[in-house]
Amino acid sequence: MRLFARVLLAAGVLLLAGNGLAGAAAPATTVSAGTAVNGESYWTVVAAPGAATTVHLHCEVANPTSRTETLAIEAVPGVQAPAGGDAYGLDTTGPASWVAGLPASVTVAPRTSRRLPFTVSVPATAGQGDHLAGVSVSTTPAAPPLSSGKDVAVVEHRVVIGLAIEVGKAVPAFQIVRASAPTEGRVVLTVRNTGTSWLHPKGTVSSSSRTWKASSGTLLPAATEYLVVPATGLAAGKHRISATLTSTGVTASWSTTVVVPGIPAKTPITPRGTVVRNPAAVTPVYWTILQFAAIPLATALIVVFLVFLLRRKPRTS
């Protein structure tokens, strides 16, 4: 069974993902294909708990452009995005270390494609539940010259096809561990996945007079998410808040009193502390005295000189 999915890189390169059953290590090993919510496809590997499992897969990189493309290939781990949803890291840890056989880079000629086989080896010690990794393909732009003396930005286009690994039966469980209202019109729920299954919690947040909808992205096992709920009409002051979320048949609730801070009034800014002057800019006291005394002293000298001229008698022969 094979599934191909086209994912377009901004550089104009297509990444095609394929599933294959060839080389399955044991009869209990199966590979099934699924389609993500956003229409992109991903691999799904199902492994029996406690048994080492190796699955052979492949992806195909196609270059429909008229220029040669060099792409970086690597397996990456799935991580939790703090504000909700899954993302992918930059190192090869966790389930990403189960992926082998991918080249570090591949060069694809214009209007051709390259098939890249690889294996996923799930160890017998893998924890029961859902695991997430992915295959990342990114452009490798040339480093810009640094002699120009200007700031430059290098844009790297990257796309990842997810690799969902299911080991045994996943157990859904989660908790709401905190609710806060840091500003008017917003409630933040701290949601923690305490099970081994991927979750997508949805539900409501209510005050004494209003109810708002809450919806989370993917919440990975053992991960914590800060779910921001737009709470239109939640004004400053004290409110009793109740939250109820449900996912995969499991419900979690939380109720607490929150104090919503208001917008602080503007207050005049007054300087504090000691004002330090530059000693070189301070005028000495004696110089100030001389400045004040210079004008009358000069005036007196002029008057004396004029009187001397008036009293001087001309000589007679």
Q: In terms of domains, do 32 and 162 share one?
A: yes
Which residue among 237, 260, 283 closes a domain? 260
Query: Cα–Cα distance between 148 and 145 in angstroms, integer?
Result: 7
On the question of pLDDT at 212 being above 80, the answer is: yes
Q: Is 118 found in the same domain as 51?
A: yes
Residue with tokens 């002051």: 237
Distances (CA, A) of 159 to 3, 35, 156, 225, 249: 18, 16, 10, 23, 32
3-state secondary structure of 293: helix
Q: Say if residue 124 is in the same domain as residue 183.
A: no
Predicted local confidence at residue 222, as pLDDT: 93
For residues 192 and 128, membership in a common domain is answered with: no
Answer for the pair 193, 220: CB distance below 8 angstroms, yes or no: yes
pLDDT at 39: 38
Q: Which of 209, 242, 260 is the last residue of a domain?
A: 260
Q: What is the mean pLDDT of the chain?
A: 78
For the chain, the domain total comes to 2
pLDDT of residue 195: 97
pTM (predicted TM-score): 0.69
Pick the last residue of a domain from 117, 133, 167: 167
Q: Does any domain span residue 302?
A: no
Please report whether residue 266 resides in a domain.
Answer: no
pLDDT tens readout for residues 25-55: 322 222 333 333 333 468 889 999 998 999 9
What the block records as the tokens of 148 is: 């120009």
- Sort 183 into a burial class: Cβ within 10 Å, 0-12 / 13-18 / 19+: middle
Neighbours of 153 (CB within 10 A): 5
Higher pLDDT, 231 or 15: 231
Q: What is the pLDDT of residue 249?
A: 95
Contact by Cβ (8 Å): 40, 7 = yes
Q: Among all chains, which residue has been given the structure tokens 């732009």?
A: 141
23 and 72 assigned to the same domain:
yes
| DSSP state, residue 91 | S
Q: Are residues 116 and 66 in the same domain?
A: yes
Q: What is the pLDDT of residue 5?
A: 32
Nearest to 167 by CA among 288, 298, 48, 312: 48
Domain that residue 251 falls in: 174-260
Please report, for the chain, how many H helices and E strands are present, in that order: 1, 19
Same domain for 179 and 100, yes or no, is no
Q: For the segment 247-273, what is each residue's pLDDT rounded down to a tens digit?
A: 999 999 999 999 999 776 666 666 665
Instruction: Please check whether residue 187 is in contact with residue 181, taking contact to mean a CB–CB distance below 8 angstroms.
Output: yes
Q: Give exposure, 66-90, as e/b (b: 16+ Cβ within 10 Å).
A: eeebebebbbbbbbbbeebebbbee
> Among the listed ranges 33-47, 133-147, 191-205, 295-309, which one has the minimum average pLDDT value?
33-47
